[in-house]
Structure 1
Amino acid sequence: MNRLFSGIGLLCLLTVALTGCETVIDAKLDEGPSQLSVDAWITDQPGPQSVRLTQTTAYFNNGVATPATNATVVVMDEAQKLYFFTDPDNDGTYVWTPPTTTDTLARIGRTYYLGIRFQGEEYYSQSKMNRVPPIDSLIFRKEKVNPLSAEEGYQAEFYANDLPNATDYYRVRYFRNSQLQNRPQDLILAYDGAFSGSGNTDGLAFIRPIRQSINPAGLYVMNDTVRVELQSVPAEAYYFLELLNQQITNGGLFATPPANVPTNIINAKTGGKEATGFFVTSAVRTRKVVVGPATIRAK
């Protein structure tokens, strides 16, 4: 990733905050070399799996990332079975398609290895697929959109129990009418069904703030279709996502300087060009319901 600016002068910050100064600061950053960026999230679900490869750009470039095409991408399991990913559309999305629609690539408890060859560099990574509990139920309660509003909607809450006798890490995703909810606050992580460091919650029900974290800004309305995914993640992926969340929500007058987040994508050659991104294997359990009489509960 390109080098990021480390801060702005304290005097100018105070001037902007206290007097509304509109001084324009022309920050000229060294661009540095482009790096391979890897978005590899392999699940135990049936159907195709994909790995997205792009190239990093300058910090202030808001354009679409350049696809990393003409790469070789392969995943290997513990039995050294190879799964080759191809880029049929030449857009940087490399896909493995199973022989049948019910086949899966990955299994819980197994370790998988990712290999990438791109522009003369070879990268590798590994990830173990951990266990994940089922989602027992998904229900709704009528609530006000906010305490000062007369507008009402339906607040969702899912129920699941953390698996006992080990530390487990999870990510929660949710969809409204098939659309992934993807605000910064929708990057939802759980440590044994709770927040990291919140106490011994091993084997207990997920805490209420996480159960109710699957709500959009305006709540749901009658006949909305809601799907929740509970995903297992390895410990290193959990901390990667936690740091990523800190970076994407880092703003305001007292924001800390931007910083690179870690990666588990390693160049096989010492001193070779570095990469960014992460390789994750994840078991997924889902629950899909419609907002209606059968799923609405009294307060």
Structure 2
Amino acid sequence: MNTFIKLGLLFVGILLTSCTDVIEVEVPEAAPKLVIEASIDWEKGTTGSVQTINLSLSTPYFDEDQLNPVTNATVKVTNNATGAVFNFTNQNNGSYRTYNFKPVVNNEYDLEVVYNNETYTATETLMPVVAIDEVYQSIDEGFDKDALEVNVLFTDPAGIENFYLMKFQRKGGYLAELFDISDEFTDGNQMSIFYEDEEFVVGDMIDIQLFGISKQYYNYIRLLIEQASDGGPFATIPAQLKGNCINTSNPENNAYGYFRLTQVAKESITFIE
């Protein structure tokens, strides 16, 4: 046994002293692409007049500086039903903002971004959302009977194809938890969504947002959530997802990101004893 241990240690020592060469791998870098973060979210009970669209350029994966804002573009959104045009003012930090947006559910809107002499467009419909019926905490409705969980109830309208996005964000946390929801098998019923985490403790506050989304955006965000989650050893290799922002000047140079319009219901809960 002692001989085996000595031989093992000698072998490890040889490995540690022989593996000293640094291998540099050339990583190909793609040309920067425009990234469009255009989420028009109308909170229930508000006018929805203040809206912001963010523009940036993509950066190489290993770059230390991941922020590359675009500050020389023009941005506007048009309501195709009414003809109303909403110009977004450049904030000189990558953000473009309007203070007079008028959201109308089930109306179709066009986005137009002009950057570097190229025009990017997208079309979406502003989808309505139902109210949240109830939010409560529990420990006995999830998978881990010792973990605190948030439970959200809302009632799906009958006879209408609906799609939802639910977002849970712990105060002070970095990442939100997203759930894509379809009423394909629950049309007209009260729907129950729960979110549990073994790290939740009494005193944690959870912000909850329920978005009404289009079928087109549902298909996009569902794939994005799947790619962002741990799919295990048999998961498919993530592929680049195409959003709905099209470069009409140069179709080979489409933008990353998505133009969505949603109505959103918000609630929050703080865990108690």
TM-score, with normalisation over the residues of structure 2?
0.79
The 1:117–1:144 alpha-carbon spacing in structure 2 relative to 1, beyond 3 Å, is closer
Within 5 Å, give how 1:139-154 maps onto structure 2.
Answer: 139-142=136-139, 154=148
- Choose which of 196, 219, 230 in structure 1 pairs with 2:200: 219
For residue 290 of structure 1, report the CA deviation from its aligned partner. Answer: 4.0
Contact map agreement 1:173 1:187 (CA 8 A) in 2 = yes
The 1:250–1:220 alpha-carbon spacing in structure 2 relative to 1, beyond 3 Å, is closer
Report the counterpart of residue 190 of structure 1 in structure 2. 181
Within 5 Å, give how 1:68-79 maps onto structure 2.
Answer: 68-78=70-80, 79=82
For residue 256 of structure 1, report the CA deviation from its aligned partner. Answer: 3.3
C-alpha distance in structure 2 between counterparts of 1:144 and 1:234, whole Å: 29
Identity among equivalent pairs (%): 24
Structure of higher CA gyration radius: 2
Where 2:128 maps in the other structure, the secondary structure is: coil
Q: Which runs of 5+ in 2 are unaligned?
A: 1-18
C-alpha distance in structure 2 between counterparts of 1:114 and 1:44, whole Å: 16
The 1:287–1:74 alpha-carbon spacing in structure 2 relative to 1, beyond 3 Å, is same
> Which has the larger strand fraction?
2
Where 1:64 maps in the other structure, the secondary structure is: coil
Where 2:220 maps in the other structure, the secondary structure is: helix
Cα deviation 1:98-154 (Å, max 9, x = unaligned): 3xxxxx531211111110000111111011012211100111125699969xxx664
For residue 93 of structure 1, report the CA deviation from its aligned partner. Answer: 1.4
The 1:250–1:221 alpha-carbon spacing in structure 2 relative to 1, beyond 3 Å, is closer
In the alignment, does 2:95 pair up with 1:82? no
Q: Which runs of 5+ in 1 are unaligned?
A: 1-21, 99-103, 193-198, 294-299
For residue 52 of structure 1, report the CA deviation from its aligned partner. Answer: 1.1
Contact map agreement 1:145 1:218 (CA 8 A) in 2 = no
Within 5 Å, give how 1:193-212 maps onto structure 2.
Answer: 200-207=185-192, 211-212=193-194
Cα deviation 1:189-234 (Å, max 9, x = unaligned): 1011xxxxxx621111224xxx112x44422414x44331110111
Q: Which amino acid aligns with 1:206?
A: M
Within 5 Å, give how 1:39-118 maps onto structure 2.
Answer: 39-45=37-43, 46-61=48-63, 63-78=65-80, 79-88=82-91, 90-98=92-100, 105-118=102-115
The 1:74–1:202 alpha-carbon spacing in structure 2 relative to 1, beyond 3 Å, is same
Report the counterpart of residue 169 of structure 2 in structure 1. 175
Contact map agreement 2:202 2:272 (CA 8 A) in 1 = no
Where 1:86 maps in the other structure, the secondary structure is: strand
The 1:62–1:282 alpha-carbon spacing in structure 2 relative to 1, beyond 3 Å, is farther
State the aligned residue count.
Answer: 249
- Choose which of 144, 152, 155 in structure 2 pairs with 1:158: 152
Contact map agreement 1:145 1:219 (CA 8 A) in 2 = no
In the alignment, does 2:229 pair up with 1:288? no
C-alpha distance in structure 2 between counterparts of 1:51 and 1:247, whole Å: 24
Contact map agreement 2:142 2:194 (CA 8 A) in 1 = no
C-alpha distance in structure 2 between counterparts of 1:216 and 1:39, whole Å: 29
Cα deviation 1:68-105 (Å, max 9, x = unaligned): 111101111121211111232x221111123xxxxx53
C-alpha distance in structure 2 between counterparts of 1:225 and 1:147, whole Å: 20
The 1:181–1:286 alpha-carbon spacing in structure 2 relative to 1, beyond 3 Å, is farther
The 1:142–1:235 alpha-carbon spacing in structure 2 relative to 1, beyond 3 Å, is closer
Report the counterpart of residue 119 of structure 1 in structure 2. 116
Superposition RMSD on alpha carbons, in Å? 3.0
C-alpha distance in structure 2 between counterparts of 1:180 and 1:170, whole Å: 23
Where 1:160 maps in the other structure, the secondary structure is: strand
Q: Which amino acid aligns with 2:72?
A: N
Where 1:219 maps in the other structure, the secondary structure is: coil
